[in-house]
A and B are shown apart, each in its own frame.
Chain A
Amino acid sequence: MSKEKMEMVPTRDGFGKGLVELGGQDKDVVVLSADLTDSTRANWFKKEFPDRFFGMGVAEQDMFSTAAGFALMGKVPFACTFGVFASGRAWDQIRVSIAYMHLNVKIVGTHGGISVGPDGATHQALEEIALMRIIPSMTVIVPADAVEAKKATIAAAKIKGPVYIRLGRAPVPVITRQEDVFEVGRANVLREGEDVAIFACGQMVCEALTACDILEKEGVKARLINLHTPKPIDKETVLKAAKETGAIVTAEEHTVMGGFGSAIAEVVAGDSPVPVKMVGVKDRFGLSGEPDELFAYFGIKAKDIAAAAREAIKMKKE
């Protein structure tokens, strides 16, 4: 598969399509938006189902608690804004109004990661996986592409309880197929290999695919796992990879502190210790720039994943 020939679609578009489909299937689905209705693609739902769309203005705290009220009445609210504002600004509302009551609210955070680009650090969410997965009862999903994002949206509505869906702004290659099985909490192995296991989520799955190609040319067989659900984490697949490959690399468009790589390391450290090398943003804020430039600048491109894989393999041999 060459990256250039792939269809490029933002994951937020997949979400928007999934939401419209859900709206037609279930009249209890309602959507709330904090003034970012076009950007989050909530406008597609608004157009089809205006009576079930609620604009909340620039008021994220109010929006998430209001969503909790809808859930208390048996509705399935999707509350949408940028990831930074959802996970940061309204963290306590998500903790107390939603998760502590185990309410059926779907929290949709678009514009995750540095692929937001020119808007810069204030708008580039690099902490949501960490901030959300530490809340009891929360499910966290990071779809790899638009096809998976649509499936994740529909799957999230079927879960009884709070779900955070992390989406991106920029168009990304569509690497999964309609017929691929998507199950929340069940990772998908995209490539088999025994030398090293690469776990990735979101847009990093595509980078990791390229990394596997680089490694293959060097005679290294890497296993690639699309771990789209950082929580609840698929322990079985993580531990199997640790045991069978003996070296792990994690790749996330997110801080390496407390996030996706940490979730995997927690499982590995406790039950099957092997080296874990994390590729991600290293304890710093984002920057303005184009997504591709930023991926290179922050060292989270395919070549960086390949380099981490070589190091992990070396560590297991030592």
Chain B
Amino acid sequence: MGRPDILELKKRAIEVRKDILKMLNLAGSGHSGGSLSIVEILLALYYYKLKADPKRPGWKERDRFLLSKGHACPALYAVLAHKGYFPKEELWGLRKLGSRLQGHPQFGLPGIEISSGSLGQGLSIANGIALAARLDKLPIRVYCLMGDGETNEGQVWEAAMTASHYKLDNVCAIIDFNKLQIDGFCCEVKGVMPYADKWRDFGWHAIEADGHDLASLMDAYDAAEKVKGKPTVIIAHTIKGKGVSFIENRVEWHGIAPKKDEYEKAVKELDEALKKL
């Protein structure tokens, strides 16, 4: 697949951020910081790398994208709606009774490959998919997005060992490395550094990328696909709350939604950014 127009995709990133904030504002709760930080990671994947067809969400030979950090689902819901997996109007029902857009993703909604929310389980599921694909000789890739705080979970490292043991080069983990978790800075809550070396020690090929630079991410996805005999992790350096000045890098914005005035202020900022593109 050829690379998409970067300027168009940058504009879309701003629209997606506006959608995320609107969803969260209407819901009255949800996770702002970690949703805003993964927008480019998702767009570079869905508009460039991921072999998928929104009209055939059950297509057997599609690549799989698993959102292991389920709390960031507003970003995924918005991108899936942009891609046409379901009508955009559904976004405004997020977290409400009767909506398919659960507070944390539920398997069954078109484009949602796994239920998640309890952290640390996605990479193991990705490995299972990859092993099954290998048995069936299906040429698919499995992407799994995790948070940096999420990798406090021991299961992530169990899965890291499984993927390298079975040489799952069809698995690509992506870390939203925004350096913040609920209780504060990751390095203060539970030291994670040196981060890339941890993965390398577990037998992975590690690539560091600018998680808000679409070209950098596309390069990383391309490079990951070329690695054979071992799984690859893309450590995407991001800013939690990216795009909104008063949310960026603020730990208290992990698990809250913008109120009406905050929402309006954020949209104003994003509209101004759009004009400057």
Q: CB within 8 Å of B: which residues of A?
A: 30, 51-52, 54, 56-57, 59, 61-75, 77, 92-93, 95-97, 100-101
Determine if B115 and A66 form an interchain contact, defined as CB atoms under 8 angstroms apart: no
Cα distance, A64 to B155, chains bound together (Å)? 11
Cα distance, A180 to B114, chains bound together (Å)? 40
B188 CB to nearest A CB, Å: 26
Cα distance, A30 to B136, chains bound together (Å)? 12
List of A residues within 8 angstroms of B106 by Cβ:
100
Instruction: Report if A66-B131 is in contact (Cβ < 8 Å); known contacts: A61-B124, A100-B106.
Output: yes
Cα distance, A69 to B117, chains bound together (Å)? 16
List of A residues within 8 angstroms of B113 by Cβ:
72
Determine if B128 and A72 form an interchain contact, defined as CB atoms under 8 angstroms apart: yes
Interface of chain B, main secondary structure = helix
Per-position 1/0 for B156-173, Cβ under 8 A of A = 001101100110000000
Instruction: Report if A62-B159 is in contact (Cβ < 8 Å); known contacts: A68-B125, A70-B128.
Output: yes
Determine if B135 and A69 form an interchain contact, defined as CB atoms under 8 angstroms apart: no
Instruction: Report if A70-B132 is in contact (Cβ < 8 Å); known contacts: A65-B121, A93-B155, A96-B121.
Output: yes
B124 CB to nearest A CB, Å: 3
Cα distance, A71 to B127, chains bound together (Å)? 12
Most chain B CB neighbours (cut-off 10 Å) among A30, A51, A72, A74: A72
List of B residues within 8 angstroms of A92 by Cβ:
118
Partner of B158, one of A61, A74, A96: A61
Determine if A62 and B155 form an interchain contact, defined as CB atoms under 8 angstroms apart: yes
Cα distance, A199 to B132, chains bound together (Å)? 41
Known: A68-B114, A73-B136. 20 other contacts (CB 8 A): A59-B158, A62-B158, A62-B162, A65-B155, A66-B124, A66-B128, A68-B121, A69-B124, A69-B126, A69-B132, A70-B129, A70-B132, A72-B125, A72-B129, A73-B132, A74-B132, A93-B121, A96-B115, A97-B125, A100-B107
A90 CB to nearest B CB, Å: 9
B154 at the binding interface (Cβ < 8 Å): yes
Determine if B125 and A66 form an interchain contact, defined as CB atoms under 8 angstroms apart: yes
Partner of B133, one of A61, A66, A68, A73: A73
Instruction: Report if A59-B132 is in contact (Cβ < 8 Å); known contacts: A65-B124, A72-B114, A96-B115.
Output: no
Cα distance, A63 to B114, chains bound together (Å)? 16
List of B residues within 8 angstroms of A69 by Cβ:
124-132
A264 CB to nearest B CB, Å: 31
18 CB < 8 A contacts A-B: A52-B135, A54-B166, A59-B158, A61-B120, A65-B122, A65-B125, A66-B127, A67-B128, A69-B128, A70-B129, A72-B128, A73-B132, A73-B136, A77-B128, A95-B118, A96-B121, A97-B114, A101-B107
Cα distance, A100 to B105, chains bound together (Å)? 11
List of A residues within 8 angstroms of B132 by Cβ:
30, 69-70, 72-75
Determine if A54 and B131 form an interchain contact, defined as CB atoms under 8 angstroms apart: yes
List of B residues within 8 angstroms of A100 by Cβ:
106-107, 115
Cα distance, A68 to B131, chains bound together (Å)? 11
